[in-house]
Structure 1
Amino acid sequence: MTNIGNNIKKLRKVRGLSQQAFADLFNLSRGNISSYEELRAEPKIETIMIIANYFGIPLQSLIQENLSVNQILNFSDYFEPAIVTNSTKKLAGIPLLTREVMMNNTDLLKQIEGAPQLQLPIQSKHKFLAIEFSELIAAPLELEVKEQSILIFEGIEMEYLHLLHNNLGLFLSEEEVFVGKYEQNGEQISLILSSWKKSLFSLSDIRYYWKLYGKFEKV
């Protein structure tokens, strides 16, 4: 028995994807995903290879290991050119806020529109934002990210608010930026940096909140 079913379920939940949304990425049905996650069936090796390359996870790890959240959140350069070239997946342009931009500008929201873009193999209708991490950004120790790493954040969508709990996220407004962990208490959601710094989520300010999608750093 492999770990592919459990890993697919974990991948889907960490990425905030429903079974149908995950299935759509790989031309599968929701029933296929359900059967994999319930360990009633396993995908064909060709499908496993495509999933592994889409998420930048070594094939052997996806099949055999019990993947951690940290592994899933880390981008890598594992994509095999043959599989990527033959896929129908398009590259998404993601605005990048560099260290220099964050150091020299007070209204960072205005910089997103004209920012240089990263081209990454992401298929999603959601918004994404990339940030070059530095000491200028306050972040919890558990983030475990190196200087000059690129953090990829996904815009918050209303239908996925229930999946934010315990996920790392970004607060980015005209005057403030920090990384924290989402905590849900009843209907109240907060993005918490520390015991003395947090931001209470509200739908009216949803554009200020992002969820960590992945990170890219030199090995």
Structure 2
Amino acid sequence: MTQIGTNIKKLRSVKGLSQQAFAELFSLTRGNISSYEEFRAEPKISVILQIAKYFGIPVAHLLEKKLTVNEILNFEDHFAEDSNSANVKNMDPIPLLNRAVLQKSGENTIELDRLPIFYFPLAIKNEVLAVEHNGLIHHPAAFPFEEHSILFFEKLQIDILHTLDKHYGFYIKENDFFFGKFEVHGKDIDLWLNDWKKATVTAEEMGCFWKLHAKYERVI
């Protein structure tokens, strides 16, 4: 028995795809995907090759091992998901807010401490959050990042407030969230989504704001 059914299910979960949406990518039916995930059938080799190529995953990995979140996000073997691995000694555990989490949350509060964790080498002292740029998160019209890129944000602290002006950030409180651009006027700091919506940084709500630190985009 291969791992193809388990990996298809995890691919769907990480990428936020329903069985129907996944099936349509490869000219299959929802019933086909259900049967693969329940180990009642396995896809033809031609379909396996299509899946591997589409998601940029080696065929052998797709068939023989249980894929990690890092592999599905194409962080590959450099960034291990296993917290017991020697490979993570110099890496940071980072929570990931992606499309799958947002789709499952609906109108419910997003709990950052319950997000999936992966490991990535970021030398930064403040708390970090990774966010997948996707259509479920509102962003300014001139937002300069490709959809599906992973954006790394550091939580606002007093010592970085002076660096915010004109930098991109992320705001999240309960089920309200958006990407925006910081504007600093004296001691007033606002994160603007557009001309009609902004969030103002206050001492009480500083923990809801994050400043963009880095981005990860897969180059094909």
Write the letter of the residue equivalent to 1:122.
L
Alignment partner, residue 218 of structure 1: 218
Change (3 A) 1:215 1:108: farther
* Structure 1 CA distance for aligned equivalents of residues 142 and 118 of structure 2: 25
Change (3 A) 1:169 1:177: same
2:208 is aligned with 1:208: yes
Alignment partner, residue 119 of structure 2: 119
**What CA RMSD, in Å, does the superposition of the two structures yield over aligned residues?**
2.5
- Return the offset for 1:202: 0.5
In structure 2, runs of 5+ residues without a counterpart are: 1-74, 79-88
Question: Do the aligned residues in 2 keep the contact of 1:102 with 1:108 (CA within 8 Å)?
Answer: no
* Structure 1 CA distance for aligned equivalents of residues 208 and 108 of structure 2: 12
By relative contact order (CA 8 Å, sep 6+), the higher-ranking structure is: 1
Alignment partner, residue 199 of structure 1: 199
Alignment partner, residue 90 of structure 1: 90
Question: Do the aligned residues in 2 keep the contact of 1:126 with 1:154 (CA within 8 Å)?
Answer: yes
* Structure 1 CA distance for aligned equivalents of residues 196 and 207 of structure 2: 23
Question: Do the aligned residues in 1 keep the contact of 2:110 with 2:175 (CA within 8 Å)?
Answer: no
2:180 is aligned with 1:162: no
Alignment partner, residue 20 of structure 1: none
- Return the offset for 1:107: 4.1
- Return the offset for 1:104: 2.1
Change (3 A) 1:170 1:99: same
Alignment partner, residue 147 of structure 1: 147
Aligned length: 136
Runs of 4+ more than 6 Å apart: none
The one-character-per-residue Cα deviations of 1:47-67 (angstroms, maximum 9, x if unpaired) are xxxxxxxxxxxxxxxxxxxxx
Question: Do the aligned residues in 2 keep the contact of 1:107 with 1:174 (CA within 8 Å)?
Answer: yes
The one-character-per-residue Cα deviations of 1:30-73 (angstroms, maximum 9, x if unpaired) are xxxxxxxxxxxxxxxxxxxxxxxxxxxxxxxxxxxxxxxxxxxx
- Return the offset for 1:121: 1.1
Q: Percent identity?
A: 33
Change (3 A) 1:127 1:108: farther
Give the secondary-structure state (helix, strand or coil) at the position aligned to 1:177: strand
**Larger Cα-atom Rg:** 2
Alignment partner, residue 178 of structure 2: 178
Moved more, 101-110 or 175-184: 101-110
Question: Do the aligned residues in 2 keep the contact of 1:107 with 1:173 (CA within 8 Å)?
Answer: no
